[in-house]
C-alpha cells in the first residue's frame, strides 16, 4: 500500500498530514507499507499570505521543542492521514530553514 499520493525520489520535499491533525514538511528518505522515513522534519505551526503577491509563507517549528535537530525518523502508517509532494513555494522555504 503506497502512502504517498505521488511518486517521489529520495531528498524530494514532502508534506505529511497526521491523523492527529499535525502537518509536517521533511526530506523524503524511503517508504514501506508500514511507514515513511523522512529527514529533518519540521512542523507547520501556521501560515500567512503576503497581500501584495498572494504568496503563502509557512511558519516552521521543531517536531519536539526539547529535542536536538532530528535526522532520519520513521512515521508509522497508522499515524499518517495523507502524504504528498510539497507545494514548490513551501518546499523552497523549508530548504532555506534546514540548510
Percent of the chain with pLDDT strictly greater than 90: 70
Q: Considering the chain, what is the average pLDDT of its residues? A: 89
CATH topology of domain 13-98: SH3 type barrels. (2.30.30)
Q: Is the pTM of this model over 0.85?
A: yes
Cell numbers for 68, please give them: 536536538
> Which set of grid coordinates corresponds to residue 65?
521543542
pLDDT at 1 over 50: no
Q: What is the DSSP string of 24-89?
A: EEEEEEEE-SSEEEEEEEEEEEEEEE-TTT--EEEEEEESSTTSPPP-EEEEEGGGEEEEEEPPHH
pLDDT confidence of residue 3: 67
Query: pLDDT by residue (tens digit) across 9-47?
Result: 999 999 999 999 999 999 999 998 899 999 999 999 999
Does the pLDDT at position 5 exceed 80? Answer: no
Amino acid at each position: 500500500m503506497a502512502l504517498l499520493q505521488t511518486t517521489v525520489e529520495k531528498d524530494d520535499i514532502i508534506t505529511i498530514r497526521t491523523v492527529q491533525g499535525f502537518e509536517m514538511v521533511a526530506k523524503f528518505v524511503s517508504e514501506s507499507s508500514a511507514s515513511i522515513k523522512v529527514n529533518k522534519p519540521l512542523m507547520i505551526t501556521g501560515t500567512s499570505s503576503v497581500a501584495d503577491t498572494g504568496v503563502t509563507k509557512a511558519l516552521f517549528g521543531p517536531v519536539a521543542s526539547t529535542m536536538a535537530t532530528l535526522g532520519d525518523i520513521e512515521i508509522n502508517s497508522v499515524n499518517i492521514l495523507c502524504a504528498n509532494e510539497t507545494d514548490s513555494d513551501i518546499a523552497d522555504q523549508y530548504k532555506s530553514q534546514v540548510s
